[in-house]
Structure 1
Amino acid sequence: MTAYSTSVRALHLVTNAAWFGGSLMGAVGLNPAAEEGDTSRERSEIADRGWTAWGPVQGGAIGLHLLSGIAILADNRRRTLSHTPTTIAVVAKTALTGAALAASGAAYVNGARLGEAREKADHDPAARGRARELAQRLRWLQWATPLTTGGLLVLDAYLGEQQRGVAGLLDRPTSLRRRR
C-alpha cells in the first residue's frame, strides 16, 4: 500500500467521521439545546448559530469524502470488478452514500424552513402550525444522517477486513508456534 493510498483512505475515514459526528452532535446536543430558548425566535436563532458555524465544516467534509471515495474506487477498480463480495459492498456503500447525502440535504432544507417558520410563529398561527409540522419531520430526519454515515463506517471496516491477511489480531504469532 502506498503513502498515497494510505492518505486517501485516512482522508476518507476522517471526513466520514466528521460528517457522522457533526450530525450526531446536532441530533443529541445542539437541536435539543436550542429547544431551551424562551421564544420560537430565540430557539431558531440558537439552532441557526450552531448549524451556521458547523455548515462549512460539514460541507467540506462531505465534499472531500466524496472525492476521496472516487479516488479509492479508482485505485481498487480491478478488485471491485473481480471480487464479488467487494462489488456488493461497494454498491451498498454507494447507495448508502446517496442516502446520507439525501438525508443531509433534507435535514438542511427542513431546518432552514423550520427556522423561518419559528421566526414568524409568535405572531402568525399558520406559521406556528407549519413550525410544528417541520419540527416533527426534523425529529426523525435528524437521525437519518448519523444512521447512514454510521453504516458507511461499518462498510469501510468490512472492506478493510477483506484486505487483511490470513492471521488475525488475536492469532498466535508464528514465532511462538515454532518455539514449541
Structure 2
Amino acid sequence: MQVTATDNHAIAQAVHDVGSALWFGGTVMGVAGVNKSGSDLSQGIDRIRVAESAWGRFSPVQWLGIGATLLAGLRLTQVGGRRLALQKGFASVGAAKAGTAVVGAAATAYAAYCGNKIGKLAEEAQRRGDHIEVKDATVPTPRTPAQIATWQRRQRVAQYVVPVLAGANIVLGSYLVQSYRTVATAKGVLRRVLPG
C-alpha cells in the first residue's frame, strides 16, 4: 500500500497515540514507582535525590511524548477539519481534548518545577547540616522542613492531576476515532442538520 502526502491520518494517529501512551504510562510509573521507591532508602536526602534523578532522566522522553501528542493532535485537527463543521459533537469533544492536552502539559511542567524546588531546598538544607526527614519524594513527615513539605504537597497534587489529564486525553481521542465510523458520522451529520 502506497501512502501519499494526503493519506497521513494513520501516521498522525499512531504518533499521537504512542506519544499519549508514553506520557500517561510514564507519569503513572513515576507516581506509583519512582516517588515511592525512595522510601526503601534510609536517608531523607537520598529519598529526594533518587526521585529527582529518575524524573530528570525521564523528563526528555516525557516531553517527547507530550510534544508528539500536541503536534500530531494539531495534524489530526487539520485532517478532521470538515467534521468540525458537519458532525455534531465532534468540535466540542475536539476542543475538550485539545484543552485537556494543553492543561496536562502545563500541569506536567508545574510538577517538574515543584520537584526542582524540592531538590534545591533539600540540598540547601543538607549543606546547612539540617536533618531532612521525608517519607518519600512527595510525602513529608511531621519533621520535614516546612518549605520542603509545602512543595512536596504541591508536587504530589500535580503528579496525580497529570495522569488524570493524560488519560482523559486518550479517552477523548478514542471517542473522536470512533466518530469516524460510517454510522457515527451519519448520525452526527443528521443531528447537525435535523432540528430537535
TM-score w.r.t. the length of structure 2 is 0.78
Structure 1 position 17, deviation (Å)? 0.5
**Residue 101 of structure 2 aligns to which amino acid in structure 1?**
T
2:102 is the counterpart of 1:98: yes
The correspondence for 1:46, drawn from 27, 40, 50, is 50
Aligned match of 2:176: 159
Q: Structure 1 residue 149 and structure 2 residue 153: aligned? A: no
Residue 109 (structure 1) shift: 0.3
Correspondent of 1:67 among 64, 71, 76: 71
The amino acid that maps onto 1:118 is: A
Find the partner of 1:28 among 25, 32, 36: 32
Q: 1:149 to 1:72 in 2, by over 3 A?
A: same
Post-superposition CA distance 1:77-115 (Å, at most 9, x none) = 111133230011011111111210111011010011011
Question: Runs of 5+ in structure 2 lacking a partner?
Answer: 132-143, 185-196
Q: Distance in 2 between matches of 1:130 and 1:142?
A: 18
More helix by share: 1
Q: TM-score, normalised by structure 1?
A: 0.85
* AA at the equivalent of 2:118: L
C-alpha change, 1:128 and 1:120, in structure 2 (3 Å) is farther
Q: Deviations over 1:120-158 (max 9, x none)?
A: 334348x92111111122222111110001001110111
Name the amino acid aligned to 1:24. Answer: V
Q: How many residues align?
A: 167
**Partner AA of 1:17 in structure 2:** A
* Structure 1 runs not aligned, ≥5 long: 168-180
Shift in Å, 1:70: 0.8
